[in-house]
Amino acid sequence: MTTGREHYDWEQILDRVEGRIPSDPGFRSHLESCPACAGARAEAERLRDALLLAGAKEPGPLLVASTWAAILEDSVSRGVRDLASGIGAAAKELWATLTADSLAPSHAVRAADQATPRLLVYETPDYSVSLSFIPTEEKGRTDILGQVVPKNAMELPEGGEVRIANRPDLEAYRMSEFGEFRISGLTRIEGSHLTLAFPEMRIHLGPLPALRES
Amino acid sequence: MIQKPSILLQMRGSTSEEHVEDLRAGNAAAWQRFMKEQGRIILAVGRRVGLDASERDELFQNTCLIAYRSIGQLKDPERLSSWVYSIAYRTGIELARRRKPGGGEEEMQRLASEEPSADEVLERVELARHVREGLEKVGDTCRDLLAQLYLQADEPSYEEISRRLSMPIGSIGPTRARCLEKLRKALSSVSGREQLPTTGAEEADRSDRLS
């Protein structure tokens, strides 16, 4: 229904913008030829959206937590797939468990103060991976010195390299024949996942914890 | 016992660029902040495209997942909100479409054609910051009605609003229109925007009075 000269008044436009009246072809056709009504329609949408934005609540803690869990799970599985496509399918995928942390009060090796490099140890049944985090002179950047050591007198496979999952901007870091590696000047470490890749095996670590106690 | 990582680390900085850098790095604290701040936008979009409460939760999760996967594609950190809005809008339409398989396609296409541009989104997000201030200028009746219509989490029906405000159902629509007009003018002065254009009907009426 329109007024006098087949224009739409403000209430009629609002009803259509909010879906209380279906947006009929006559209305849409009129908007194409009437800049004033088209402008009012745009204004109604703008106002409606601003009100909805103003009234929107923050997502609840349960929703946030479940979403973050889903993101992490997706990230790790995609990181593995991405690396598989880049490096080639490996025979074994291993997930290492954090077994020692120099910041943990119950561990025998405890950092005397925050200046001592943080030390983490991850282990699989056959390998042990140690990571030392050394702050650099440049604020906010950290070097990671790592080494993967096979247990039980096994030999370390050759050609190993280290990648950081979900950081495609960073290159892979080569390991020495003794399984040593260095990642220099890294920022925003917390939450990162490392993958130690060998021709027929990959060892996954992470997510890395915060480097300092909160 | 291994110490659990804290997810609420202090972040390196709070500028848009630094925040997006933190997001790209997968920083947990940055993503917690993202979910809270952008979550309002996502849930508002869900209401905008007609999703119910559980669908909006699904929209929130799907949008955050997509954002996490594709944050590297965001070129301008200042446009994070409009980028998120766009993802949520298109994802929301797909969710709505899934709810009505084979039906309502015309409605979905209409919604898709009405997606606001990035600049329009930024403008609306900015305008939203002034809404509560604007509501203080429209009087008690309008403030209460508009709050019931747009700001209540339970999204009451006209019947419920009529009961809460002791207002005849038939007068809610016209009163809403008058109150939104008042809010429109109040926001013009609050946000510094020019006075808004009149509708074609208002122009025709004015022309009639002058002739």
- Greater confidence (A191 vs B1) lies with A191
Phi, psi of B32 (to 5 degrees): -65, -45
| pLDDT in the model for residue B182 | 93
Q: Determine the Cα–Cα distance for residues B108 and B88; give it in Å rounded to an integer.
A: 14
The token pair at A171 is 């290159």
pLDDT, one tens digit per residue, over B64-101 is 999 998 888 888 899 999 999 999 999 998 888 887 66
| Ranges in chain B, pLDDT < 70 | 1-14, 100-104, 190-211
3 state DSSP class of B7: coil
Nearest CA distance, A106 vs chain B (angstrom) = 7
Residue A5: list chain B partners with CB under 8 A.
200-201, 204
Question: Between helices B80-99 and B105-113, what is the axis angle to 10°?
Answer: 170
Q: Measure B85 CA to nearest chain A CA, in Å.
A: 11
Of A39, A36, A40, A32, the residue nearest A15 (C-alpha): A40
Please, what is the Cα angle at A177 between A174 and A183, to 5 degrees? 30
Mean pLDDT for chain A overall: 80
What is the four-CA torsion angle of B4, B61, B82, A167, rounded to 10 degrees?
50
Domain ranges across chain A: 10-55, 62-205
Summarize the confidence of residues A64-74 as an average pLDDT: 88
Angle between helices A35-55 and A25-33 (to 10 degrees): 110
Instruction: Say what the pTM is.
Output: 0.62
Can you say whether the dihedral through the CA atoms of B147, B151, B152, B156 is positive or negative? positive
A53, B125 in Cβ contact below 8 A? yes
pLDDT at B113: 79
Residue A169 with chain B: CB contacts under 8 Å: 24, 72
Query: Between chains, do A49 and B116 touch, taking CB under 8 Å as contact?
Result: yes
Domains and CATH numbers, chain B: 8-115 (1.10.1740.10), 116-198 (1.10.10)
Tell me the nearest-neighbour CA distance from A4 into chain B, angstroms. 8
Write the CB contacts of A135 (distance below 8 Å, at least 6 apart in sequence). A117, A141, A142, A143
Pair of tokens at residue B100: 């009505």
Cβ–Cβ below 8 Å for B110 and A46: no
Contact: A55, B35; criterion CB under 8 Å: no
Q: Å from A71 to nearest chain B CA? A: 6
Instruction: Give A79-135 pLDDT, tens digit per residue.
Output: 655 555 554 444 577 888 888 888 765 444 444 444 578 899 998 888 999 999 988
Nearest to A7 among B22, B123, B201 (CB): B201
pLDDT of residue A20: 82
As given in the structure block, the two tokens for residue A124 are 């699989």
Minimum CA–CA partner of A61 in chain B: B36
Q: What is the pLDDT of residue B103?
A: 60
Residue B200 tokens read as 């074609």
Contacts of residue B91, defined as CB under 8 A and 6 or more positions apart, other chains included, come to B59, B62, B63, B66
The distance of B188 to chain A (nearest Cα, Å) reads 11
Residues of chain A contacting B2 with CB distance shorter than 8 Å: 98-101, 104
Q: Which residues of B198-210 are buried (b: 16+ CB within 10 A; e: fewer)?
A: bbbbbbbbeeeee
Question: Can you state the angle between helices B169-191 and B118-135, rounded to 10 degrees?
Answer: 110
- Which residue in chain B has the smallest CA separation from A11? B177
Count contacts between A and B (CB, < 8 Å): 216
Taking CA atoms, A191 is separated from A39, A72, A80, A132, A186, in Å, by 48, 9, 16, 16, 13
What confidence score (pLDDT) does residue A83 get?
A: 54
Partner-chain contact B40 A140, CB within 8 Å = no
- The reply to whether residue B43 touches residue A46, judged by beta carbons under 8 angstroms, is no
Residues on chain B touching A14 (C-beta within 8 angstroms): 176-177, 180
Report ipTM for this prediction: 0.82
What are A22's two structure tokens? 């279906």
Six-digit token string for A151: 């247990």
- Counting residues of chain A whose pLDDT is more than 90, the rounded percentage is 18
Share of chain A above pLDDT 70, in %: 82
| Cβ distance of A7 and B26 shorter than 8 Å | no
Q: Do A2 and B201 touch (CB under 8 A)?
A: yes
Phi, psi of A143, rounded to the nearest 5 degrees: -95, 140
The pairing of beta strand A201-205 with beta strand A92-95: parallel
Residue B23 CB partners (closer than 8 Å, separation 6+)? B30, B31, B34, B68, B71
* Per-residue tokens: B156: 């009451």
DSSP string covering chain A, please?
--BTTTB--HHHHHHHHTTSS---HHHHHHHHH-HHHHHHHHHHHHHHHHHHHHHPPPPPHHHHHHHHHHHHHHHHHHHHHHHHHHH---SEEEE-EEEEETT-TTSSS--SSTTSPEEEEEE-SSEEEEEEEEE-SSTT-EEEEEEEEESTTPPPPSS-EEEETT-TTSPPEE--TTSEEEEEEE---TT--EEEEETTEEEEE-----SS--
The residue among B112, B186, B183, B123 whose CA lies nearest residue B151 is B183
Q: Is the pLDDT of residue A159 over 60?
A: yes
Q: Give the CA distances from residue B2 to residues A119, B9, B92, B207, in Å, rounded to whole numbers and listed in that order.
A: 12, 18, 41, 78
> Which residues of chain B neighbour A140 with C-beta distances below 8 Å?
12
The pLDDT of residue A213 is 44
